[in-house]
């Protein structure tokens, strides 16, 4: 109980940031001290994904989105990062942890200069998505997977 | 009706082919240099490794059907096609067969009926088919109504099912390409995708692979216009995306008709994704000859290229003769 209360301020901050529409920094899962009595993991608050453009998708993200987004467990998230200018193409999107599994981007031909990625939420938890561009630009989003 | 559609399609294809310069039979590379450097890659994507079998079907006897959706194309025949996409698409597939096509042959190394995770089929399993004659099975102008200006994914799938019913087809060996008319822009076209393929369920309950193919030239260079230098090939640079994207989706449907149960790499990429928009070096997009006609294409992934290390190729005669 006390540990759960301890992470509430962090969850509240993330929730406020998500609701304000501001670009929230990626939030890491609350660290839990090693004890003999595990408690349920408290996942950060998250925003609804923008509507998808491809079939079978829960939603999509572009380089315009930052912050924390929700992905229902078992559903797919599509990502399209468009280069701001010639030769400044985003690198392949990397996901931390194991709650997101890459899946086929091959359903579509991406336009020139667009870096696509697709992930399926396989387990409850959080994952940080990142990509960088040669110009030094960095894109980061936190995805909260929950059933 | 199907026969008449085929005859009309073949006639159009021949007319288009007549505009192209003569070239030797086979998918010879004619103009490997690209013209549009915007965001192009200079080498194949190395991440993800080779394609691996996912346990599902591949296309063992490919046949392609086109539906031109909406009376924006015309009412009794296609009259509104400013880039000539219909004729070029039909010509492309009408030439993609037999020994005169050494482009799509790179995909015949993939198979079904082997262990999940397999990367080299060898002689095992049932392989992706390569047609002995034109794989173009039929075309249909569905001018019964106006296509929505921004069709949803569900509406596009429904049109594919409607076309399959018209043609009397279903199953993973057929693929329906839903051609959207000039000016129709489904959400995400141009910015997130040029085209995509998927599968749905035909009216008889069988699987039905289909492709959402917007009017590619509406996207300009973002979807392939002027990506490859045309040289003296006779190819119209502005139209290159029609066959670059068309070949990409066709090949991916051959190897993964029910995504993603076919052949994908560890990152989920299919055969075309791994080789998209390569501008120079191994696997660079180029203009190839198919049975005497020239077309712009991107390369496709070959697991057995470079002693099974894998790579992007535009010509494939055998596991030891590809480039």
Q: CA nearest B224 in A: which residue?
A: A112
* Beta-carbon-side half-sphere exposure of residue B177 (alpha carbons within 13 Å): 32
Check: CB of residue B202 under 8 Å from CB of residue B170: yes
Report how far residue B96's alpha carbon sits from residue B136's, in angstroms, rounded to the nearest whole number: 9
Report how far residue B172's alpha carbon sits from residue B178's, in angstroms, rounded to the nearest whole number: 16
Contacts of A112 in chain B (CB under 8 A): 36, 38-40, 221-224, 227, 277
- Chain B segment 267-296 residues within 8 A of A by beta carbon are 267-273, 276-277
Binary contact (B260, A106; C-beta < 8 A):
yes
Binary contact (B271, A108; C-beta < 8 A):
no
Interchain contact B77–A (C-beta under 8 A): no
Q: CA nearest B270 in A: which residue?
A: A106
The angle formed by the CA atoms of residues A109, A114 and A116, to the nearest 5 degrees, is 70
Mean pLDDT score, A108-135: 96
B308 dihedral zone (left: phi>0; alpha: psi -120 to 50; beta): left
Report how far residue B56's alpha carbon sits from residue B72's, in angstroms, rounded to the nearest whole number: 37
Residue B280: CB atoms within 10 A of its CB come to 15
Contacts of B153 in chain A (CB under 8 A): 53-55
Report how far residue A99's alpha carbon sits from residue A123's, in angstroms, rounded to the nearest whole number: 5
Report how far residue A61's alpha carbon sits from residue A65's, in angstroms, rounded to the nearest whole number: 6
Check: CB of residue B272 under 8 Å from CB of residue B259: no
Question: Bridge-partner residues for B189, per DSSP?
Answer: B193
The whole-number pLDDT of residue A21 equals 36
Confidence of residue A13 (pLDDT cuts 50, 70, 90): very low
The whole-number pLDDT of residue A106 equals 66
Consecutive H or E run containing A144: strand A138-146
Check: CB of residue A8 under 8 Å from CB of residue A1: no
Residue A101, pLDDT > 50, answer yes
- Find the CB nearest B191 among A78, A102, A111: A111
Report how far residue A121's alpha carbon sits from residue A144's, in angstroms, rounded to the nearest whole number: 9
- Chain B segment 25-64 residues within 8 A of A by beta carbon are 36-41, 45, 47
Task: Give how far Cα A3 sits from Cα of A31, A42, A125, Å.
Answer: 10, 10, 18
Contacts of B209 in chain A (CB under 8 A): none
DSSP tag of B278: B
In the three-class reduction of DSSP (H, G, I as helix; E, B as strand; rest coil), residue A136 is classed as coil
The whole-number pLDDT of residue A24 equals 39
Contacts of B196 in chain A (CB under 8 A): 54-55, 107-109
Binary contact (A54, B196; C-beta < 8 A):
yes
Check: CB of residue B297 under 8 Å from CB of residue B244: yes
Interchain contact A60–B (C-beta under 8 A): yes
Binary contact (B191, A80; C-beta < 8 A):
yes
The whole-number pLDDT of residue B190 equals 97
Integer Rg of chain B from CA: 18
Residue A47: CB atoms within 10 A of its CB come to 18
Interchain contact A34–B (C-beta under 8 A): no
Residues ≥6 apart with Cβ < 8 Å to B46: none
How confident is the prediction along chain B (323 residues), in pLDDT tens digits per residue? 333 333 333 333 333 333 333 333 334 444 434 444 446 776 554 568 999 999 999 999 999 999 999 999 999 999 999 999 999 999 999 999 999 999 999 999 999 999 999 999 999 999 999 999 999 999 999 999 999 999 999 999 999 999 999 999 999 999 999 999 999 999 999 999 999 999 999 999 999 999 999 999 999 999 999 999 999 999 999 999 999 999 999 999 999 999 989 999 988 889 999 999 999 999 999 999 999 999 999 999 999 999 999 999 999 999 999 99
Report how far residue B109's alpha carbon sits from residue B130's, in angstroms, rounded to the nearest whole number: 10
Binary contact (B269, A105; C-beta < 8 A):
yes
For residues A16 and A137, which has the higher predicted lDDT (pLDDT)? A137
Report how far residue A60's alpha carbon sits from residue A49's, in angstroms, rounded to the nearest whole number: 6
The whole-number pLDDT of residue B132 equals 98
Most B CBs within 10 A among A109, A131, A134, hence the mutation to make, goes to A109
Question: Bridge-partner residues for B140, per DSSP?
Answer: B67
Mind listing the pLDDT tens digit for each residue in A47-97?
Answer: 999 999 999 999 999 999 999 999 999 999 999 999 999 889 999 999 999
Q: 3-state DSSP helix/strand/coil percent for chain A, to nearest 5?
A: 15, 35, 55
Here the tokens at position A119 are: 């992930």
DSSP tag of A50: P
């Amino acid at each position: 109980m006390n540990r759960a209360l301890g992470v509430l301020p962090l969850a509240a901050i993330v929730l406020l940031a998500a609701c304000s529409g501001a670009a929230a920094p990626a939030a890491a899962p609350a660290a839990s001290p090693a004890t003999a009595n595990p408690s349920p993991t408290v996942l950060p608050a998250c925003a609804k994904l923008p509507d998808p453009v491809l079939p079978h998708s829960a939603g999509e993200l572009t380089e315009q989105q930052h912050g924390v987004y929700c992905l229902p467990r078992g559903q797919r998230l599509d990502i399209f990062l468009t280069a701001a200018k010639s030769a400044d193409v985003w690198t392949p999107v990397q996901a931390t942890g194991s709650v997101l599994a890459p899946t086929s981007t091959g359903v579509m031909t991406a336009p020139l200069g667009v870096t696509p990625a697709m992930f399926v939420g396989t387990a409850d938890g959080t994952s940080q998505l990142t990509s960088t561009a040669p110009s030094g630009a960095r894109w980061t989003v936190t995805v909260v997977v929950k059933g | 009706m199907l026969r008449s559609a085929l005859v009309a399609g073949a006639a159009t294809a021949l007319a288009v082919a007549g505009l192209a310069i003569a070239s030797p039979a086979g998918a010879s590379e004619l103009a490997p240099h690209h013209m549009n450097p915007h965001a192009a890659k200079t080498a194949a994507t190395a991440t993800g490794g080779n394609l691996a079998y996912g346990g599902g079907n591949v296309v063992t006897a490919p046949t392609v059907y086109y539906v031109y959706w909406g009376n924006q194309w015309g009412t009794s025949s296609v009259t509104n096609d400013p880039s000539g996409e219909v004729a070029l698409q039909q010509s492309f597939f009408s030439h993609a067969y037999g020994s005169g096509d050494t482009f799509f042959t790179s995909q015949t190394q993939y198979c079904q009926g082997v262990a999940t995770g397999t990367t080299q089929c060898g002689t095992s399993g049932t392989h992706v088919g390569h047609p002995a004659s034109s794989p173009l099975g039929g075309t249909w102008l569905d001018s019964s109504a106006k296509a929505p200006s921004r069709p949803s994914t569900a509406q596009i799938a429904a049109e594919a099912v409607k076309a399959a019913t018209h043609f009397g087809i279903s199953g993973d060996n057929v693929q329906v390409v839903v051609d959207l008319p000039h000016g129709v822009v489904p959400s995400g076209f141009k910015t997130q995708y040029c085209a995509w393929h998927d599968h749905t369920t035909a009216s008889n309950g069988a699987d039905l692979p289909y492709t959402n193919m917007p009017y590619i030239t509406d996207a300009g260079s973002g979807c392939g216009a002027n990506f490859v230098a045309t040289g003296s090939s006779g190819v119209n640079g502005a139209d290159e995306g029609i066959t670059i994207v068309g070949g990409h989706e066709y090949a991916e449907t051959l190897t993964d008709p029910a995504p993603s149960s076919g052949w994908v790499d560890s990152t989920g990429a299919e055969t075309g994704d791994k080789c998209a928009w390569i501008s120079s070096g191994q696997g660079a997009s180029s203009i190839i000859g198919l049975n005497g006609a020239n077309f712009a294409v991107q390369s496709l992934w070959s697991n057995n290229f470079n002693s099974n290390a894998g790579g992007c190729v535009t010509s494939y005669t055998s596991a030891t003769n590809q480039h």
